[in-house]
Structure 1
């Protein structure tokens, strides 16, 4: 009975928080910049309050609720053009505190915090906090978080040594996984680490990193940035009518196919894609 009462209190608190946040969603065109700034401050205060809110054993439910609020926040494109994405790191800081093994959320973390908020160091810190609670075999596909971390380290902060270690760890974890894509992931993660060790400025490795960004992109802005970076590095991006993306690069113009929902694992101009 005590847990039921506590759960009811949590639901009421979440409902009040949601109602308050929803009340902030006025038409952006009718709001001044100062009002929008005030809304962002209120959002930050609410998220900080959620960090202190007891979950009464329902951490996963609270994490799901926070994630849904983030999706709503991220989808407010007109408002984000004015206020930016500064709250993204806080959303995931709170979420990871509640459910660090929510692997699916990290896809949004790396996109919103690294790409939109422009804080790759914070993205890496949050992933490290979550990874500290994970094992090679639990949760499923936890090795992908190491790949996300390695890609951010390689592309956005230029720490190739850290990226090498993250790719190697991704390989080690993948080798211990029973997932159908794990062994391919392990092989190609080791290849990327080897490229970075022998040639820190390896173009194939950088293209592979941007291919990973392209495959994990959650909106067109990130896709266009990834394509621009691939082309800048000498790659050619081709889009088929069925949605499959092909990246050609290298002296032999070797192709790598990216299917919808696939994690690209290509290194050094060889074809390899893996269904997520």
Structure 2
């Protein structure tokens, strides 16, 4: 079964044609969520993820039809292959920031965390993503502290140089959340994490703009990138 998006040529496509393609893709996505897997759940998830990449990256089409399919793509991948951790690093910010569905993202990340093992490569980052959602969109600082604590725990279980460094950063974030009274700095720090971890320029630019709205500025000093706020 081939996605309609894979058939698009460089020829000019009308707005109406984009809408027809969107409807076909939605029908196909719904079908992929319902058909028996016959042991091929991971292949179905891979197929949907490839469609997501094409869909998300088609700027012209998204200007016409928006990002309506992102939450369904995300949900279908989680249902089919919850251990597909690397896919979430694009699916979550895309669904949160472009489809405007942070609650959906939080629910699906939580669902995936129930299936993923702590030692799976980069699984700890799902807790970091959940913590950011809790700070920026869910108004749940206590939940965020727990998420960062779990991120540190899982990162230590992965036990690589990179994960151990991430564990230290997550532990620092817990202390920061416990002591920092300025909500701007907490929010700015969460947006900086999105900026640093972004896999695409669209997400990075949104994070930069949100930091600017808070009155902050991203500063680079050597190997360190921070958010600087003017003294009140």
> TM-score under structure 1 normalisation?
0.74
Identify the residue that residue 84 of structure 1 maps to in structure 2: 66
Identify the residue that residue 205 of structure 1 maps to in structure 2: 186
Distance 1:133 1:207, change over 3 A: same
Identify the residue that residue 203 of structure 2 maps to in structure 1: 222
CA shift for structure 1 position 185: 1.9
* Separation in structure 2 between the aligned mates of residue 204 and residue 57 of structure 1, nearest angstrom: 47
Distance 1:169 1:200, change over 3 A: farther
For the pair 1:192 / 2:173, whether they are aligned, the reply is: yes
Identify the residue that residue 225 of structure 2 maps to in structure 1: 246
Unmatched 5+ stretches in structure 1: 1-15, 253-276
Distance 1:205 1:179, change over 3 A: farther
Contact 2:5 2:54 in 1 (8 A): no
Contact 2:218 2:225 in 1 (8 A): yes
SS at match of 1:247: strand
Identify the residue that residue 50 of structure 2 maps to in structure 1: 68
Which is further off, 197-206 or 183-192? Answer: 197-206
Contact 1:207 1:235 in 2 (8 A): yes
CA shift for structure 1 position 197: 3.3
CA shift for structure 1 position 125: 0.9
* Separation in structure 1 between the aligned mates of residue 13 and residue 164 of structure 2, nearest angstrom: 53
Alignment of 1:93-108 (within 5 A): 93-108=75-90
For the pair 1:31 / 2:10, whether they are aligned, the reply is: no
Which is further off, 173-182 or 44-53? Answer: 173-182
For the pair 1:50 / 2:32, whether they are aligned, the reply is: yes
CA shift for structure 1 position 187: 2.5
Identify the residue that residue 151 of structure 2 maps to in structure 1: 170
SS at match of 1:237: strand
Identify the residue that residue 117 of structure 2 maps to in structure 1: 135
* Separation in structure 2 between the aligned mates of residue 54 and residue 171 of structure 1, nearest angstrom: 37
* Equivalent position to 1:115, from 97, 105, 108: 97
Identify the residue that residue 269 of structure 1 maps to in structure 2: none
* Separation in structure 2 between the aligned mates of residue 193 and residue 28 of structure 1, nearest angstrom: 52
* Separation in structure 2 between the aligned mates of residue 28 and residue 63 of structure 1, nearest angstrom: 29
